[in-house]
Amino acid sequence: MASTSQRRRQLARQRWEKQQARRAEAAARARRRRQILAGVTAVAVLGASIAGVVVWSPWSGDDVTTTAADEPTDAAAADGSCTYTEAGPPAETIGLPPAEPNAAATATLTLDGKPVTVELLADVAPCTVSSLAHLAANDYFDGTSCHRLTSSPALRVLQCGDPTGSGGGGPGYEFGLENTDGATYPAGTVAMAHRSGEPGSNGSQFFLVYEDSQLPPEYTVFGRITGGLDVLTDIAARGTADGNEDGAPKQPVTLDDLVTAA
């Protein structure tokens, strides 16, 4: 019988081979998007100005219409190790996560004193889960804000994980995608945010889906909420500070702490 380490390497190689086969297809899709972007942008701007439609991107300041990239970046190597790259100034010095994945199984987020429990998907997103465990072990999330709430008919998420509360902060390193092939984002999904057009820019920001949402399969799903979904729906019911469908929560939301366990 294969050891756990051997099985993990086998799964990682299978994922890597599958991801390599998708690169050409992803590049073709990106080229097609760019070809129609000019026309789409003109129509979208006009429609938004008339109907007040909010165009959302999981990372503040970016255009959701440019989320695909010519060269997708994968977090896991064929041997099952993880690649993290230094990028930007960290909020505090915590170093890079280890290359060998930490197979955490659960996470508990405490939002304004109320627990939200998450099943972590270390089997399909080992590098993402390992990064979360690394950050949690260094108390990176403690006392930070969940800075963004969306409540459009197609997109209902709460975004957390930025210690600066600005939407542009990160841990001082970045890593690539995992588990995006055919990804969907129903209620209870926990997924990584990244800068639009830069799939290798995963860092510490993530979003919690409180109602079924529509997004392209370009955001790493690494967890499923198993308890406390009502905590999120209660936050969402209060709306945003300015009354729009995308903005800071009306009542500030604090991520008191985030802990992971094997």
Q: What is the pLDDT of residues 123-163, one digit of tens each?
A: 999 999 999 999 999 999 999 999 999 999 999 999 999 99
Query: Residue 58: what pLDDT?
Result: 56
The more confident residue out of 12 and 240 is 240
Report the number of secondary-structure helices (H) and strands (E) in the chain.
3, 12
What's the whole-number average pLDDT of the chain? 79
pLDDT at position 5, please? 54
- Residue 90 CA, chain-centre distance (Å), reads 18
Q: Which two tokens stand for residue 138?
A: 């260094």
pLDDT digits (tens, 9 = 90+) for 163-222: 999 998 999 999 999 989 999 999 999 999 998 778 889 999 999 999 999 999 999 999
Residue 26 confidence class, pLDDT cut points 50, 70, 90: very low
pLDDT digits (tens, 9 = 90+) for 54-107: 334 554 433 322 233 334 468 877 788 999 999 877 655 789 999 999 889 999
Cα gap 191→220, rounded to integer Å:
5
- pLDDT for 200 equals 86
In this predicted structure, the answer to whether residue 45 has a pLDDT above a threshold of 50 is no
CB-based contacts of 58: which residues, under 8 Å, 6+ apart? 157, 159, 193, 194, 196, 205, 207, 215, 219
Domain boundaries, the chain: 1-53+61-262
Tell me the C-alpha distance between 158 and 144, whole Å: 13
- Using CA of residue 57, residue 63, residue 65, residue 68, what is the dihedral sign? negative
User: What are the backbone dihedrals phi and psi of residue 33, each rounded to the nearest 5 degrees, phi first?
Assistant: -60, -45
Dihedral angle, C-alpha 71, 57, 192, 84, nearest 10 °: 40
pLDDT range class, residue 229, cuts 50, 70, 90: very high
Q: What share of the chain is helix, strand, coil (3-state, %, to 5)?
A: 25, 25, 45
Q: Which tops the pLDDT comparison, 75 or 25?
A: 75
- β partners of residue 109: 116, 258
Question: How large is the C-alpha radius of gyration of the chain?
Answer: 18
CA dist 220 → 68, 74, 88, 177, 216 (Å): 13, 11, 21, 6, 11
What pLDDT, in 10s, does the model give residues 108-123? 999 999 999 999 999 9
- Predicted confidence at residue 179, as pLDDT, reads 87
Distance CA 151, CA 54 (A): 10
What's the CATH fold of domain 1-53+61-262?
Cyclophilin (2.40.100)
